[in-house]
Amino acid sequence: MRPVIEVKNLKKYFPVANGVLHAVDDVSLSIGRGKTLGVVGESGCGKSTLGRTIIHLQEHTSGEIFLHGDDISNLKGKELRKVREKMQIIFQDPYSSIDPRKTVDATIREPLQVSKRYKRNEIDDVTTELMELVGIDNRLRMSYPHELDGGRRQRVGIARALALNPDFVVCDEPVSALDVSIQAQVLNLLKKLQQQRGLTYMFVTHNLSVVKHISDDICVMYLGQVVELCPSKELFKNPLHPYTKALLSAIPSIDIHNPNKPEILKGELTSPINPKPGCRFASRCNFATEACKQPQKLQEISSGHFAACCRVREIQ
Amino acid sequence: MSDEIKESMPFLEVKNLIVEYFTSEQTVHAVNGVSFKLEKGKTLGLVGETGAGKTSIAKAILRILPDVGARIAKGEVWLADENITRISEEEMRKIRGKKISMIFQDPMTALNPVQRVGDQIAEVVSLHNSGTKESFKKRAEEMLEMVGIQKERYGDYPHQFSGGMKQRVVIAIALACNPELLLADEPTTALDVTIQAQVLKLIDNLKEKLNTSMVLITHDMGVVATHCDDVAVVYAGNIVEYGSKEQVFDHPAHPYTIGLFGAIPNLGRDEEWLHPIEGLPPDPSDLPEGCSFHPRCNYTTEECKAGTIDMLATPDGHQCRCIHMDRVLKGEV
């Protein structure tokens, strides 16, 4: 089956004062219909930029992007607008991603009006349907964002993203700003909507328990590059890349009788500006050797399990 | 012998603490009668959601609530054998930073952006110790090295450091005078997991070395499980469950605690759906009558909706603020 989204050798560089910042560097991946790809990594690893670049919120530097097999990499103007209806995004912070001067109704209605797909009287009905879909009471229809709590605001953001029935949705840390009890409500909602509408998600987050819960496949990023890519369960059972191992061991376990022993990494993320060729994790890695100074390719280690580490077979 | 008795005495005791914020129109009941004890060298985790009153508890202990619009309406805070809610501001100033210090949540705003980080550490040292400028500087350099920053960076400004490094500076300031009690308010929430692991390890090591007691405020059950001895679950300004980590994690007795555990995706389990707690935390300016959790609770009966609900002992000896504890423990709903 054709994947909904496919990305080949995608690069996004930002020119900065003292060089070039490699935010996304040579990323290739694909997501099938109704599936969720989780993208994890620490702040500054380029995971949000990847999501935004795919849906053309930012122009890519080079590489190719396909939607349902059609090359959309270089679309502009009218054609891009048409394609955009199929690709939407839910933002991290429901406090700043919604216009504070628009009511719930106006926020959800806006994409419907812009698309010119519906007549004026139809728009009312579709808006009502959308509010029901995401579980916002009709009595809140004329409320402003400041009158809503974070969970409800995020529901408004979800309704707006789903208004034009997209195929592909980038969820950029949609629950990071929410409390745990509310976070569970929103995660369940996203999952239910995916099942009802066959949505394809790219779920960007730094929260590994959330990503395990929601994703079919997981892609681990480090300084703009994919270091490991495999099915979700496989990643947690059998992490291969030294960075993934350290990342997983650092999650504090809630099982008090089986505490995990975190592997403490040296140092911090190095700068993504003018990076040297070779493995970007090498300076913090306990297994680094001379060979790590060569560029690392993502290679299939076992069926469906990719990792970008030249020493991956030796260190298991 | 006498040392042993001292060791088992609570080092910090908070009794029936009530904190209110008020405007001309309304009163916000942030903390509503919180009591707990902490022994020397132990860590108590205060867990709860945004707005539960966790930070207000810590600020009340340190007496750094805003001067206008906030007050400790009732309650006592005992540090060893001294009631520090009663002492003068001048005496309190000698305790802050020396006996009790606080690690603030957001390292981006906790530091002074126009002062060299080394000087910020030396300032605390100079306030509480006598000595020369050089000796303060030397102590600040020691502290930087202790938290894993080269002392050559003494003269750098906060913006020259990453988030994790800034949090280390905040920790260095908090620990510079070897405090006996550390109030850590979400010390790692703004950090990535690998950096969080580094920082928590650092706090653990320093705590062990100095036998510091700690109140660790967090919303992350994983951090509680790995770094605390005792746990107090806070909801709407009240402790609803309180006991040792083993008691609370193995036999949670309050519906809210159980709800919190159900709402977190568990790495050890594969489950299709999470179990969110329905509804929202109450508005602290308009708390429900009776048990403040009753509008969201599956066990609610008429008795829950009126009067005050007291802390009760659970079968395994910890405390829980729920009159239907027996039904909850049997898992009836």
pTM attached to this predicted model: 0.88
Find the CB nearest A149 among B165, B226, B280: B280
CA pseudo-torsion sign B179, B182, B186, B187: positive
The answer to whether residue A267 neighbours chain B at the CB level (below 8 Å) is: no
pLDDT of residue B5: 46
pLDDT of residue A181: 83
Element (H, E) at A244: helix A242-249
Query: What is residue B64's DSSP assignment?
Result: -
Residue A254 — pLDDT band, cuts 50, 70, 90? Answer: confident
The answer for A 110-129 residues in CB contact with B (under 8 A) is: none
B257 min Cα distance to partner chain A (Å) = 11
pLDDT of residue A94: 85
Find the CB nearest B276 among A188, A251, A265: A188
pLDDT of residue B3: 47
Beta-carbon-side half-sphere exposure of residue B225 (alpha carbons within 13 Å): 17
**Cβ-contact A92, A173 below 8 angstroms:** yes
Q: What is the C-alpha separation between B251 and B244, in angstroms, rounded?
A: 10
pLDDT of residue A71: 96
Beta-carbon-side half-sphere exposure of residue A136 (alpha carbons within 13 Å): 31
The answer to whether residue B281 neighbours chain A at the CB level (below 8 Å) is: yes
3-state secondary structure (DSSP) of residue B119: helix
Cα-based distances in Å from B44 to A275, B15, B218: 43, 15, 11
Is B201's CB within 8 Å of A208's CB?
no
Select from B49, B5, B98, B4 the least CA-distant residue to B240: B49
Burial class (CB within 10 angstroms; exposed 0-12, middle 13-18, buried 19+) of A139: exposed
- Sort out which chain B residues have CB atoms less than 8 A from A265's CB and list them: 194, 197-198
pLDDT of residue A266: 79
Residue A53 within any structural domain of the chain: yes
Number of domains in chain A: 1
The answer to whether residue B233 neighbours chain A at the CB level (below 8 Å) is: no
Residues 6+ apart with CB under 8 A from A35: A200, A201, A216, A217
| Tens digits of pLDDT across chain B (333 residues) | 444 444 457 899 999 999 999 988 889 999 999 999 999 999 999 999 888 999 999 999 999 999 889 999 999 999 999 999 999 999 999 999 999 999 988 888 899 999 999 999 999 999 999 999 999 999 999 999 888 888 899 999 999 888 888 988 999 999 999 899 999 999 888 778 888 888 898 889 888 888 999 999 998 999 999 999 999 999 999 999 999 999 999 999 999 999 999 998 888 777 889 999 988 888 888 899 999 999 999 999 999 998 889 999 999 999 999 999 999 999 887
B194 min Cα distance to partner chain A (Å) = 6
Domain boundaries in chain B? 2-99+179-268+275-330
Find the CB nearest B197 among A210, A256, A264: A264
For residues A149-164, average pLDDT: 93
Fold of B2-99+179-268+275-330: Rossmann fold (3.40.50)
Residue A52 within any structural domain of the chain: yes
pLDDT at A86 over 70: yes
Residue A49 within any structural domain of the chain: yes
The answer to whether residue A271 neighbours chain B at the CB level (below 8 Å) is: no
For residues A85-108, average pLDDT: 93
Give the pair of three-digit tokens for residue A28.
Answer: 């290739």
Q: What is the C-alpha separation between B148 and B61, in angstroms, rounded?
A: 29
Is B223's CB within 8 Å of A268's CB?
no
User: C-alpha dihedral over B130, B131, B135, B136, to 10 degrees?
Assistant: 40
Q: Choose the mutation target among A42, A176, A213 for the interface with B, i.e. most B CBs under 10 Å.
A: A213
**Cβ-contact A72, A83 below 8 angstroms:** yes
| A280-311 per-position pLDDT tens digit | 999 899 899 999 999 999 999 999 999 999 99
Is B280's CB within 8 Å of A269's CB?
no
The answer to whether residue A140 neighbours chain B at the CB level (below 8 Å) is: no
Domain extent for A209: 5-86+166-240
The answer to whether residue A187 neighbours chain B at the CB level (below 8 Å) is: yes
- Sort out which chain A residues have CB atoms less than 8 A from B264's CB and list them: 180, 184, 209, 254
Is A268's CB within 8 Å of B165's CB?
yes
- Sort out which chain B residues have CB atoms less than 8 A from A182's CB and list them: 276, 280
Q: What is the C-alpha separation between A6 and A14, in angstroms, rounded?
A: 23
- Sort out which chain A residues have CB atoms less than 8 A from B267's CB and list them: 208-209, 212, 236, 251, 253
- Sort out which chain A residues have CB atoms less than 8 A from B268's CB and list them: 253, 255
**B15-33 core/surface letters (b: 16 or more CB in 10 A; e: else):** bebbbbbeeeeeebbbbbb
Residue of B nearest to A211 (CA): B265
- Sort out which chain B residues have CB atoms less than 8 A from A151's CB and list them: 280
For residues A240-245, average pLDDT: 95
**Cβ-contact A169, A189 below 8 angstroms:** no
Residue A224 — pLDDT band, cuts 50, 70, 90? Answer: very high
Find the CB nearest A181 among B198, B260, B266: B260
Partners of A22 in the β-ladder? A13
For residues A95-114, average pLDDT: 94
B296 min Cα distance to partner chain A (Å) = 11
Whichever domain contains A205, its CATH number is 3.40.50.300
The answer for B 13-72 residues in CB contact with A (under 8 A) is: 49-50
Partners of B83 in the β-ladder? B78
The answer to whether residue A75 neighbours chain B at the CB level (below 8 Å) is: no
User: C-alpha dihedral over B24, B29, B33, B37, to 10 degrees?
Assistant: -110
The answer to whether residue B227 neighbours chain A at the CB level (below 8 Å) is: yes
